[in-house]
Chains A and B, each alone.
Chain A
């Protein structure tokens, strides 16, 4: 089925470790996004991309980097994980009629 796929679904990191979250979409969407969601909160935008090779900061970009080397993929990197980055991360892409979200990555930093 067409949609947005996130990997991994779960991950536990130690403080200071690095990791990359992968988002892939097969809808040929130009726009892609990374959000984080903390307990009891709405989603907050971390970074987004308006096309291959572009990235831009969202509401809470500190501590994260992103890359969009291919149109269908949007990577979110944590260079040195901190406990404050424990969260659920959602990727999304948008086309003419709205956003499609992935199923999320639950990240715990201990």
Chain B
């Protein structure tokens, strides 16, 4: 699985958009970008994933650069409840047969009032 690089920590004001970057310069053509988050001591929670097109769901948007070497997770209106560690993970395919989720240290996002 390709490695990812994320900033250690970020701050965001409540109500503003939170933009979390991730570099994955060695990503392969069949590898997806996944984002998970972990709110204090809870199990990680799936947010969104994408291959090469931008994706949006009720939680967030995922912007993947054209060369697929980096991506940005966008939380459009951050709330205090979005304070968490956000993990960017690259792995092949969608199903479990495509490799295991390998977690780095992620980005600790602090949303401040």
Contacts and interface: CB of A to CB of B under 8 A. Distances in A.
Contact of A31 (B42, B96, B105, B106): B96
Interface string B66-101: 000000000000000000000100000011110011
A45 B102 contact: yes
Nearest to A43: B103
B9 to A, nearest CB: 12
B96 A43 contact: no
A41 B105 contact: yes
A104 B43 contact: yes
A44 B87 CA distance: 13
A49 B41 CA distance: 24
Interface in A13-67: 29-31, 33, 35, 40-45, 48, 50, 58-59
Contact of A98 (B46, B97, B103, B104): B46
A104 B41 contact: yes
A4 B103 CA distance: 19
A94 B42 contact: no
Contacts of A50: 96-97
The interface size bin for chain B is: 20 to 34
Nearest to B103: A42
A41 B100 CA distance: 17
A90 B97 contact: no
Contacts of A44: 103
B44 A99 contact: yes
Contacts of B43: 4, 90, 92, 101-104
A82 interface: no
A108 interface: no
Interface of B: 34, 36, 41-46, 49, 87, 94-97, 100-106
- 3 A-B pairs closest in CB distance: A31-B96, A101-B43, A42-B103
Given A50-B97, A96-B94, A98-B94, 16 more contacts: A33-B101, A42-B104, A43-B44, A43-B103, A90-B44, A92-B43, A92-B101, A96-B95, A97-B94, A98-B46, A99-B101, A100-B46, A101-B44, A103-B42, A104-B41, A104-B43
